[in-house]
Structure 1
């Protein structure tokens, strides 16, 4: 899968909307993620409103690029589930699927971590008026990249241990 080796963190976007069919493909990829006990704790907020994107940009010290994105997806997870201790793992898998599908579609994105930092989670909750039974996990700004970037090869054979 070429997206694994070409995905980069994109923080600068063209002033161009993301097509509805691409948004649908991204969300389908997210929900195709593996999930412990198949609990699928995820829900997704899709934000295209520029004022809301600007407010989300202030929810994290690393969120400045959100205001210039065409859109953002905010993955959230349900608190009430059979195995809540696996929610962060499930959400990470869904978020990675989003990033890979974004790359596959010729778009760019970056993962802005929110969970488990309570202050950032509360900031996002307030901006989006997320109900108490859901917890914000990340902010993923998405758009057409202004410039391309090549992924650096991160393979390090010294970190591999054969037994």
Structure 2
């Protein structure tokens, strides 16, 4: 049963089971999973169907370590078997929204395969331009997110607020 009533389908189960994972087993991610995550990303909703994204995957240990050295909140990227990088075309009006939707699609696709991941910010971070240059991505693109991923070594489940704390119906009213 769902916490709000009714039965739960597989998609909802994937969404509810996803948590940020920062410790991974030393086990590579199968190519079919990587390609499936990328395919799901390209199918994300996008304003005016612009699809202003460019997706990269990084598995080289030296490159992962270099990215981890740049991303102050992503030091654990060095230990991930893979890191996805989501870039948006700067001249697209809604590239941030579109690329965030694609990022979520990657997170959920990986979760469906039992692969843990964590969204590491790219947009507006001081290291975004350095990561772009490191990966040789054209100047017309901006880093939106980094997604290190792997089979979970450890999962720490953060407590989430209950629905009554974060939602309102029709009009917001102070209690």
Task: Return the TM-score normalized by structure 1.
Answer: 0.91
Residue 130 of structure 1 deviates from its aligned partner by 1.6
Match of 2:161 in 1: 154
CA distance in 2, matches of 1:153, 1:143: 23
What corresponds to 2:69 in structure 1?
Answer: 58
**CA radius of gyration, larger in:** 2
- 2:110 corresponding residue in structure 1: 102
Provide closer, same or farther for how the CA distance between residues 159 and 149 of structure 1 changes in structure 2, counting only shifts above 3 A: closer
Residue 130 of structure 1 corresponds to: 137
1:24 aligns with 2:28: no
**Contact preservation (8 Å) 2:23, 2:155:** no
Partner of residue 57 from structure 2, selected from 46, 49, 53: 46
Q: CA deviation at 1:161?
A: 2.1
Structure 2: gaps (5+ residues): 1-10, 171-175
- In the alignment, the residues of structure 1 paired with residue 135 and residue 163 of structure 2 have an alpha-carbon distance, to the nearest angstrom, of 40
Taking structure 2 as the reference length, what is the TM-score of the superposition? 0.85
Task: Return the alpha-carbon distance in structure 2 between the equivalents of residues 112 and 95 of structure 1.
Answer: 10
Deviations 1:115-161 (A, max 9, x none): 023x2211211221221111111111011110344564433314322
| Paired residues of 1:6 and 1:151 also in contact (CA < 8 A) | no
Kept in 2: contact 1:7–1:151 (CA 8 A): no
Structure 1 contact 114–120 (Cα < 8 Å) conserved: yes
Distance 1:3 1:149, change over 3 A: farther
CA distance in 2, matches of 1:74, 1:161: 34
Segment drifting more, 149-158 vs 104-113: 149-158
Distance in 2 of aligned mates of 1:133 and 1:7: 32
Aligned residues: 159
**CA 1:159–1:147 in 2, change beyond 3 Å: closer, same or farther?**
closer
Gaps of 5+ in 1: none
SS state at 2:62 partner: helix
C-alpha RMSD of matched pairs (Å)? 1.4
Partners of 1:154 and 1:34 lie apart in 2 by 27
Rounded Cα–Cα distance in structure 1 between residues aligned with 2:95 and 2:151? 30
